[in-house]
């Protein structure tokens, strides 16, 4: 036997005695430490000689930490560079407003000159106003911004920028496509837009199995989202990465523009100030300004979270909840229905649970603007019973609403805490439709099943699937409301995919150790034994003998017995001493640790890059029956509405030029 083979056999023998995590390889040389969870393939005592590193403290880490709380940094490089924002190949609606910015870096602000030229298919286009905003966000940068820039006609426009200074010179040219919606023919008056956060195909398939049943390989029925008239797929990548987060992916739907991880309603600019990036007009702003439509937002997340906020907000950093709430109170951006969690951002700092840094009570400020308010499920029923209000605010939890399993299937006072009386998506959607239908100019309602994603991050398949069923039942409410109408477009999609897959079944009563031996694949999978005795579409018990076997394409080191967890438990926690992930010892005690494949600091699984489903019914729905870039979803909604944004106040070119030279010495230091 060779030395190599001997070493391999010895290592295999060690692995059979216990499952070592990557934590054991973090020493300066050789195997410094090892962690053994459970029995491995034989008794754990066989590995007792291996020293175990146990952190003195373990902390839960936000699943979106690497995006939500990441520091905004300016890209650096050598030499001078210039960037035109919006980016090359950006697409616009005629009449929509945006900030046109030229950013020069690696320059000497004292000697910088920036020349900007605008042209269309016919030649120079006089669209540059006389008073751009000049800033300098860093000692070697200059920015020139034309606020509320507008393309007044359809066609192709080119922006060319050239910068020169004593430090060097650079240039860039971008082309923009401008389109005008066709207002003739059948158009929609209302849009109901459903967003399953992280709702990949596994979540949809799992929901169909659990909610509708499957017999001898045929589904007993289909989901409401399955039976929409047209189906397609959406690509999800952002401007900075193939892997997106919920902020920039939802922003693409709500603006028609690409942006970067962590950003919404803006193109990321040079400044570290999250409010200083150049803006693009959002769905809420366009529809309120151009047609006087009402805007509704319903979510199971905090109402300031990435998906709901992207309907109306502008920020480079999605965690700016207090600023997002400030924007929500601005008339041009204000939703007319605004329901979910997130009360902590509205309460004065002296009240328990507040995250504010002042004594403002935003609930009272919304009331002063004509909103009825509900803080519980009971209060929501009472508000609606008293007469449909013109505007409605509901915050039913300081944070995110609890997931459906914890709210309705197995409610646990220890989990629900001070919020035992939370409504669900179905009730909130019904209430929102009653309020919004009062506007004869129409409405746009966004409904988010947020905790599909928030359950997938900690590798909790059952909770993700039950929340997918809840979203589908909200879709049923919308379809029922619209069934006798021919003026409402319903769209259902996801913002990104996730790591979850369904590989077969897991049988609790099957003999075998470790727990993976209880997983059935191919013919051994058979069918799960979920029972829905009361016919409400949700299995009565999420933990039957034969249940779905969930797999994960990416994950940290974590223990897993593959069965439903009565209480959601994080797969890994952060060791503050190393700032790296460590398997959660309180999740599935005794289970084998599954070796991870993510960077060592990641405690949860992450979003994946695959395309997502989109389905639609109603006027304009056929536009969604193909593969779409996520920015095209916005333009398809505008086209379905037949919306032509008024440009009557923008037609004059008086004082505007096709070419401008800007001296950086006139720039105002930013920040």
DSSP class of residue 378 equals H
pLDDT band at 14 (very low <50, low <70, confident <90, very high): very low
Per-residue pLDDT, averaged over 82-110, amounts to: 96
In a domain, 275, yes or no: yes
Per-residue pLDDT, averaged over 29-34, amounts to: 32
* pLDDT greater at residue 206 or residue 49: 206
Per-residue pLDDT, averaged over 26-44, amounts to: 35
pLDDT band at 23 (very low <50, low <70, confident <90, very high): very low
CATH code of residue 119: 2.60.40.10
In the chain, what is the straight-line distance between the N-terminal and C-terminal CA atoms, in Å?
Answer: 69
Per-residue burial over 555-589, b = 16 or more CB atoms within 10 Å of its CB, e = otherwise? bbbbbbbbbbbeebbbbbbbbeeeebbbbbeebbe
Active site residue 246: yes
Q: pTM here?
A: 0.90
In sequence order, the 6+-apart residues with CB closer than 8 A to the CB of 55 are 575, 576, 577, 578, 582
Tell whether 197 is in a known binding site. yes
Q: Are residues 343 and 458 in the same domain?
A: yes
Q: Are residues 637 and 655 in the same domain?
A: no
- Helix residue ranges, H only, 543-587: none
The per-residue DSSP string of 198-241 comes to T--HHHHHHHHHHHH-EETTEESS--TGGGSSEEEEEE---SS-
* Cβ count near 209 (within 10 Å): 19
pLDDT score for 77:
58
Q: Are residues 239 and 282 in the same domain?
A: yes
Check: CB of residue 335 under 8 Å from CB of residue 284: yes
DSSP reduced 3-state for 346? coil
pLDDT band at 666 (very low <50, low <70, confident <90, very high): low
Q: Are residues 581 and 665 in the same domain?
A: no
pLDDT score for 72:
52
pLDDT, tens digit (0-9, with 9 covering 90-100), for 130-183: 889 999 999 999 999 999 999 999 999 999 999 999 888 999 999 999 999 988
Helices (H) and strands (E) in the chain, counts: 15, 30
In sequence order, the 6+-apart residues with CB closer than 8 A to the CB of 231 are 613, 614, 615, 624, 625
Residue 463 belongs to what H/E stretch?
helix 461-482
Tell whether 558 is in a known binding site. no
Q: How far apart are the C-alpha atoms of 237 and 221, rounded to whole Å? A: 33
Boundaries of domain holding 571: 508-594
Per-residue pLDDT, averaged over 22-38, amounts to: 34
Tell whether 495 is in a known binding site. yes
Check: CB of residue 231 under 8 Å from CB of residue 223: no
pLDDT score for 646:
87
CA 576 to chain centre: 27
pLDDT band at 66 (very low <50, low <70, confident <90, very high): low
pLDDT band at 334 (very low <50, low <70, confident <90, very high): very high
Q: Are residues 434 and 512 in the same domain?
A: no
DSSP reduced 3-state for 95? coil
Q: Are residues 217 and 141 in the same domain?
A: no
Q: How far apart are the C-alpha atoms of 298 and 337, rounded to whole Å? A: 8
Q: Are residues 512 and 492 in the same domain?
A: no
pLDDT band at 49 (very low <50, low <70, confident <90, very high): very low
CA distances from 605 to 149, 206, 490 (A): 40, 19, 31
Q: Are residues 476 and 531 in the same domain?
A: no
Is 4 exposed, middle or buried (CB count within 10 Å of its CB: 0-12, 13-18, 19+)?
exposed
CA 313 to chain centre: 14
Task: At 297, give phi and psi (nearest 5°).
Answer: -135, 125
Mean confidence (pLDDT) of the chain: 90
In a domain, 299, yes or no: yes
In a domain, 75, yes or no: no
pLDDT score for 250:
98
pLDDT, tens digit (0-9, with 9 covering 90-100), for 525-571: 999 999 999 999 999 999 999 999 999 999 999 999 999 999 999 99
How many structural domains does the chain have? 3
CATH code of residue 210: 3.40.720.10
pLDDT band at 26 (very low <50, low <70, confident <90, very high): very low
Per-residue pLDDT, averaged over 29-55, amounts to: 43
Tell whether 314 is in a known binding site. no
Per-residue pLDDT, averaged over 69-82, amounts to: 64
Tell whether 611 is in a known binding site. no
In a domain, 427, yes or no: yes
pLDDT score for 317:
96
Q: How far apart are the C-alpha atoms of 361 and 37, rounded to whole Å? A: 48
Q: Are residues 238 and 90 in the same domain?
A: no
Tell whether 453 is in a known binding site. yes
pLDDT band at 35 (very low <50, low <70, confident <90, very high): very low
In a domain, 261, yes or no: yes
Q: Which of 96, 136, 239, 246 is catalytic?
A: 246
In a domain, 534, yes or no: yes
Q: Which stretch of 72-76, 204-208, 562-566 has the lowest confidence by average pLDDT?
A: 72-76
Q: How far apart are the C-alpha atoms of 607 and 610, rounded to whole Å? A: 9
* 28 has a pLDDT exceeding 50: no
The per-residue DSSP string of 613-669 comes to EEEEESTTGGGGSSEEEHHHHHHHHHHHHT-----TTT---TT-BSEEEEEGGGPEE
* 186 has a pLDDT exceeding 80: yes
Check: CB of residue 85 under 8 Å from CB of residue 101: yes
The per-residue DSSP string of 325-336 comes to HHHHTSTTT--S
* 434 has a pLDDT exceeding 90: yes
In sequence order, the 6+-apart residues with CB closer than 8 A to the CB of 436 are 190, 294, 296, 336, 337, 443, 445
pLDDT score for 185:
85
In a domain, 76, yes or no: no
Q: Are residues 294 and 355 in the same domain?
A: yes
Q: Are residues 628 and 654 in the same domain?
A: no
DSSP class of residue 451 equals H
In the chain, % of residues over pLDDT 70: 88
Vertex 437 angle, CA 433 and 441, to 5°: 135
In sequence order, the 6+-apart residues with CB closer than 8 A to the CB of 122 are none
Q: Which stretch of 71-75, 176-180, 245-249 has the lowest confidence by average pLDDT?
A: 71-75
Per-residue pLDDT, averaged over 505-534, amounts to: 96
CA 581 to chain centre: 23
Tell whether 305 is in a known binding site. yes
pLDDT score for 96:
97
In sequence order, the 6+-apart residues with CB closer than 8 A to the CB of 112 are 104, 142, 163, 164, 165, 663, 664, 665
* pLDDT greater at residue 669 or residue 249: 249
In a domain, 51, yes or no: no
Task: At 235, give phi and psi (nearest 5°).
Answer: -85, 150
* 224 has a pLDDT exceeding 50: yes
CA distances from 400 to 263, 305, 341, 397, 478 (A): 20, 9, 5, 6, 23
Q: How far apart are the C-alpha atoms of 617 and 490, rounded to whole Å? A: 5
Q: Are residues 268 and 144 in the same domain?
A: no
């Amino acid at each position: 036997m060779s030395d190599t083979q001997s070493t391999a056999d010895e290592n295999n023998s060690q692995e059979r005695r216990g499952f070592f995590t990557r934590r054991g390889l973090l020493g300066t040389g050789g195997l410094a430490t090892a962690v053994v969870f459970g029995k491995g393939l034989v008794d754990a005592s066989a590995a007792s000689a291996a020293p175990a590193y146990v952190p003195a403290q373990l902390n839960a880490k936000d699943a979106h930490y690497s995006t939500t709380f990441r520091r905004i940094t300016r890209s650096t490089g050598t030499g001078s560079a210039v960037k035109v924002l919006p980016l090359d190949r950006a697409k616009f609606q005629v009449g929509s407003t945006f900030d046109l910015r030229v950013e020069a870096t690696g320059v000497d602000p004292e000697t910088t000159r920036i020349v900007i030229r605008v042209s269309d298919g016919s030649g120079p286009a006089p669209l540059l106003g006389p008073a751009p905003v000049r800033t300098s966000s860093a000692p070697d940068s200059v920015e020139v911004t034309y606020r509320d820039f507008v393309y007044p006609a359809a066609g192709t426009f080119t922006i060319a920028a050239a910068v020169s200074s004593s430090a060097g010179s650079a240039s860039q040219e971008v082309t923009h496509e401008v389109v005008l919606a066709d207002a003739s023919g059948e158009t929609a008056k209302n849009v109901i837009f459903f967003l399953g956060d992280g709702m990949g195909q596994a979540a949809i398939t799992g929901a169909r199995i659990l909610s509708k049943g499957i017999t001898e390989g045929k589904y007993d029925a289909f989901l409401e989202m399955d039976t929409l008239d047209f189906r397609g797929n959406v690509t999800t990548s952002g401007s900075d990465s193939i892997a997106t987060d919920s902020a920039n992916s939802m922003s693409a739907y709500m603006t028609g523009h690409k942006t970067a991880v962590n950003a919404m309603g803006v193109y990321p600019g040079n400044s570290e100030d999250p409010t200083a990036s150049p803006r693009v007009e959002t769905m809420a702003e366009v529809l309120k300004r151009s047609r006087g439509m009402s805007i509704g937002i319903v979510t199971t997340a905090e109402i300031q979270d990435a998906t709901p906020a992207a309907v109306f907000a502008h920020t480079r950093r999605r965690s700016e909840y207090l600023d997002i709430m400030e924007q929500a109170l601005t008339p041009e951006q204000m939703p007319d229905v605004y329901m979910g969690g997130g009360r902590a951002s509205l309460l004065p700092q002296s009240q328990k649970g507040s995250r504010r840094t002042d004594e403002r009570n935003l609930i009272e400020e919304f009331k002063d603007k004509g909103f009825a308010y509900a803080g519980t499920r009971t209060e929501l029923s009472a508000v609606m019973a008293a007469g449909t209000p013109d505007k409605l605010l509901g915050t039913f939890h300081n944070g995110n609403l609890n997931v459906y399993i914890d709210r309705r299937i197995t409610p646990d006072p220890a989990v629900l805490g001070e919020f035992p009386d939370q409504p669900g998506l179905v009730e909130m959607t019904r209430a929102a439709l009653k309020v919004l239908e009062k506007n004869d100019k129409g409405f746009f309602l966004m409904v988010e099943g947020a905790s599909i994603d928030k359950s997938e991050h900690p590798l909790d398949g059952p909770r993700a699937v039950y929340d997918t069923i809840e979203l589908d039942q909200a879709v049923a409410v919308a379809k029922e409301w619209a069934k006798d109408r021919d003026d409402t477009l319903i769209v259902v999609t996801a913002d990104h995919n996730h790591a979850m897959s369904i590989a077969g079944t897991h049988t609790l009563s099957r003999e075998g150790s470790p727990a993976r031996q209880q997983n059935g694949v191919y013919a051994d999978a058979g069918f799960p034994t979920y029972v829905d005795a009361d016919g409400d579409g949700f299995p009565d018990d999420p933990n039957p003998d034969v249940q779905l076997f969930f797999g994960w394409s990416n994950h940290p080191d974590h223990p897993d017995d593959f069965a439903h967890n009565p209480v959601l438990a994080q797969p890994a926690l952060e060791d503050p001493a190393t700032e790296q992930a460590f398997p959660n010892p309180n999740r599935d005690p005794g289970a084998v640790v599954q070796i991870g494949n993510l960077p060592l600091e990641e405690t949860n699984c992450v979003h994946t890059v695959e395309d997502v489903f989109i389905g639609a019914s109603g006027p304009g729905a056929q536009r969604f029956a193909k593969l779409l870039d996520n920015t095209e979803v916005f333009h398809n909604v505008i086209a379905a509405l037949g919306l032509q944004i008024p440009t009557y106040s923008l037609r004059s070119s008086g004082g505007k030029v096709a070419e401008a030279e800007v001296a950086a010495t006139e720039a105002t230091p930013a920040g």
